[in-house]
Structure 1
Amino acid sequence: MRRPLLRAGLLACVATALPAFPSFAHDFRAGDLVINHPWSRAVGARAQTAAGYMSIVNRGSAPDRLISAETPMAGSVEAHEMSMTDGVMRMRPMPEGIQLPPGGTVWLRPGGMHLMLVGPTRAFVPGERVPLTLRFERAGAVTVELEVATAGARAPAGEHHGD
């Protein structure tokens, strides 16, 4: 008799605790596009910029393009690309957006293409999520959440791949 009560009590505890854990799936969809693990690094209240990272998979047979992004947590959002020229790291805006080839994956990550959040309205704290609306030429708009990792993170929390 005690066993069913124990099992029921254990199930009730697990069911109650589940909402406290963050979702392991942190992917979003827009048409043929899948936006995987969007994230940002923590920044202080006086930071002039923050960055948004993610991968975008185009599962369709036609190209698409990320044409703009916006968030209520920054004054503006710009697509940027970093590159090495003569041993010097350079960052340049990508005013035409980010091309998404059919059947391909585009990585927005530290040291490469990324979204620059200019003029954050407050600190980004590890563990919180920052809403970000992405606008695509074909797939339309989708709001994702940037999971905020620690200030020096090279990947979102829980990511253990070599990308």
Structure 2
Amino acid sequence: MGRFGMLALAFIAQTAMAADVKVENVWMRATVPGQQVAGAYMDITSPVNARLVGVQSAAAGSMEIHFMRIHHGVMEMREVKALPLPRGKTVKLAPGGFHLMLFDLKRPFKTGETVPIKLTIETADKKRETMDVTAQVRDLNGQMMH
């Protein structure tokens, strides 16, 4: 196999990882005018040990991976620099646990709209891939529009 064939194989092997990561149930709640932050939620399943190391959206000034819990009756929320994605295990980003925070929203989001989100995933061998997902905006109770 020539040099071009080897390069093509290396490229295919490298890009297969992000394509194989399964991201489902991507959603966020509708926002009200003047609201500057929002949470986004999803289920991520990776076929290899990996980590979610970056998030961004054109709909927000910045985004972070966050963890929230109630500890001794007090809500604690903190940024997480990387979220482990164990091989074959579905990691659920949901209200009351791990989630994505969008800051400095560009505009309010109405039920039924979609919001683009870019995820950066790093494998155990430090290769990084980005993938685009689309969050469905649900009503303020988290319900889908009928």
Which of the five TM-score ranges fits, normalised by the shorter chain?
0.7 to 0.9
- CA distance in 2 between counterparts of 1:130 and 1:69 reads 13
Task: With the length of structure 1 as denominator, give the TM-score of the two structures.
Answer: 0.72
**Quick check: 1:44–1:122 contact (8 Å CA) kept in 2?**
no
For structure 1, the 5+ residue unaligned runs are 1-28, 159-163
The alignment partner of 1:103 has SS state of coil
Match of 1:44 among 11, 15, 32: 32
Cα offset for 1:30? 2.6
CA distance in 1, matches of 2:98, 2:79: 10
Q: Which runs of 4+ in 1 moved over 6 A?
A: none
**Equivalent residues, number:** 125
Rounded to whole Å, the distance in 2 between the matches of 1:143 and 1:45 is 26
- Correspondence for 1:157: 144
Aligned to 1:132: 117
Q: 2:61 is paired with a residue of what secondary structure?
A: strand
**Aligned letter for 2:130?**
A
Letter of the aligned partner of 2:25 in structure 1?
A: H
Distance 2:74 2:20 in 1: 37
Counterpart residue type for residue 42 of structure 1: A
Percentage identity across paired residues of the two chains: 37
Choose between structure 1 and 2: higher strand proportion: 2
Partner of 1:16: none
| Matched letter for residue 118 of structure 1 | F
The alignment's C-alpha RMSD in Å is 1.6
Q: Residue 30 of structure 1: SS of its match in structure 2?
A: helix
Counterpart CA distance in 2 for 1:92 and 1:69 is 15
| 1:76 alignment partner in structure 2 | 62
> Structure 1: which amino acid aligns with 2:89?
G
Question: Which residue type is aligned with residue 90 of structure 2?
Answer: T
SS in 2 for 1:89: strand
* Cα distance between partner residues in 1 of 2:24 and 2:18: 11
TM-score under structure 2 normalisation?
A: 0.80
